[in-house]
Amino acid sequence: MSIYKFRVLLEADEDIFRDIEVKSTQNFDDLHEIIVASFGFDNSQMASFYISNDDWEKGQEITLFDMLIEENEQEKVLVMAETVINSQVNCVGGHVLYSYDFLNMRNFFIELIEIKVKEDKDAFYPKVVYTQGEAPAQKADLAEMSEEEMANELLKDAGFSEDGDDPSDDMFEGFDDFENYQ
């Protein structure tokens, strides 16, 4: 059995990543659990892995659980708890995309950076072996927010300020300014 070392990079403006070692025979649910824990997120949100190519295009999806939706009858639905990692990724340079919390969309770029032939018999896998950067706080679940908090959060995500003004909309201060543009 081999030990896979993955670099898990959070899509962000700065370099935030974790190097994670996992047994090649563990499943994607084990990898999901350690990623969520290592970035300080709770495990309350949906997530999926996507086998990827060198251009980071989404391929075969590996879901958290089978949602019994068959979009393409020829493509079998893969479930994290039932899919062994080395059945999908088995060479250095292999790419996987990971999406967590589809409402707030946290995307991670995962690359297999090393394969170790020997495991540390005293170690527990999976494990985080290197950490760089601090992950942003996980946003509150919209279901737990009041309607006003939810509206403010959605407006803020859309680029509006606290008072509801669009910061990019500085063309008019009021209706009096409209006369200058006729």
Q: Is 176 inside any structural domain?
A: no
Is 0.75 topped by the overall pTM? no
Tell me what pLDDT residue 95 has: 98
CATH number at residue 25: 3.10.290.30
Tell me what pLDDT residue 165 has: 56
Tell me what pLDDT residue 145 has: 57
> Where is 111: in which H helix or E strand?
strand 106-116
Kindly compute the dihedral angle of the four CA atoms of residues 33, 35, 37, 39, in this order, to the nearest 10 degrees: -160
Tens digits of per-residue pLDDT, 116-165? 998 888 899 999 999 999 988 876 655 555 667 656 666 766 667 655 55
SS3 70: coil
Tell me what pLDDT residue 177 has: 55
Same domain, 106 and 149: no
Tell me what pLDDT residue 43 has: 81
The parent domain of residue 152 ranges over 138-165
- Residue 149, by phi and psi: left (phi above 0), alpha (psi -120 to 50) or beta? alpha
Same domain, 105 and 88: yes
Contact 100, 36 (CB under 8 A): yes
Confidence check: pLDDT of 69 > 90: no
The encoded tokens of residue 52 equal: 């990827």
User: Residue 138: what residue type?
Assistant: Q
Tens digits of per-residue pLDDT, 15-34? 999 999 999 999 999 999 99
